[in-house]
Amino acid sequence: MTELIQNLIDGLGRGSIYALLALGVAVIFGVMHLLNFAHGELITVSGYVSFWAIDSGWSWWLVAPTIVVVSILTSLLIERIAFSRVRGAGDFTLLLTSFGVHFVVSAIFLLYVSASVKNFSRPGWVANTYSVGSLNIEVFDTIVIVVTLVTLWGTSQLLQRTMFGLSLRAAAADFDTARLMGVRSNSVIRGAFALSGLLAGIAGVFWLMRAGNTQPSAGIDPMLKGVLAALIGGLGSLQGAVLGGFALGLAEVLLRSWLPDGIASLTEGVVFLLIALLFIFRPSGLVSVQHAERV
């Protein structure tokens, strides 16, 4: 029982980061029908910035907000350089463009920095645990979960209570009609990329704290988690993306503890298998988007 609860907390800790990544992917998909395979590059760039900052003696108290800012700026830069030029193009073109960005960013670090892994030190408290009864809980997991819940609440408030959030939701529902109302395409798309960057930044802080290193291909893993979780949750639903993230995190941890030792290293493979089964029986994901309709 104790082990189950600890696994649940661990799974929620992982799932929190995946949920933030998935939400970042879902926000852009909602507005532009673009599945952003370059989403992970925000963490690659943040990773290198962290490496250089920590190498120069910065404390993590400074590095963390820097990661968030870098993530937002990088996201906006990518929109300006790559995606703004293919605005209005077909879904496939957008997809290819995002792959292109992913390869270009990895290549830049490969060519101009180096192929080797860059390590940096993690904050001291990352490995700390505390006890609640018979449970041994990681400080890290606790903080990740709390910060994620606050972020999710904040994002929900942004979307539900501000005109910016309303514009995003309207544009996601019907872009052309939103423009007829006067919503500016540029504002809404850049806003979506900024929000996506913010979410990736927060996720990135924890991802990098846990990883303690970066390399040119660092973006692949977070991108996969984010995109998969968003798909599991059901593209088109922001709540679904968050749910998908938590589900993925829990699945990973629970499976690893349940699988017999011999094949525990195949956890990832089993997770993919389960995802495949999910899509066979429920192609639209966990949360199917249903529109209100008067019969």
Partner 1 sequence: MLDVSGLTTRYGAISALRDVSLHVDAGEVVGLIGPNGAGKTTLLGSIAGLLPPSEGTVTLDGTDVTAAPPERLLRSGLALVPEHRRIFVDLTVEENLKIGGVTVPAGERSALLDDVAEQFPVLRKKWTTSAGYLSGGEAQQLAIARALMSKPRVLMMDEPSLGLAPVLVDVVFELIDSLRDGGTTMLIVEQNATRMLEVADRAYVLRSGEIVTEGTGAELSERDDLFDTFVGGGSS
Q: What residue ranges bind partner 1 (CB under 8 A)?
A: 163, 166-167, 169-170, 173-174, 176-185, 291-294
Residue whose CB is less far from partner 1, 280 or 292: 292
Least Å distance, CB 166 to partner 1, is: 6
**Alpha-carbon distance values, 221 to 105, 157, 216, 217, 239 (Å):** 15, 29, 12, 8, 22
Nearest CB to partner 1, comparing residues 78 and 171: 171
Measured from the CB atom, is 161 or 282 closer to partner 1?
Answer: 161
Identify the three-state secondary structure at position 35: coil
Strand ranges, E, within the chain: 118-119, 129-132, 135-138, 213-214
In the bound complex, what is the minimum distance in angstroms from residue 161's beta carbon to partner 1? Answer: 11
Q: Rank residues 3 and 293 by Cβ distance to partner 1 and give the closer one.
A: 293
CB of 288 to partner 1, least distance (A): 14
**Inter-residue contact 41 to 102 (CB < 8 Å):** yes
CB closer to partner 1 out of 93 and 177: 177
Query: Could you tell me if 29 and 230 are in contact, meaning their C-beta atoms sit under 8 angstroms apart?
Result: yes
Cβ 165 to partner 1, closest distance in Å?
10
DSSP one-letter code for 219: T
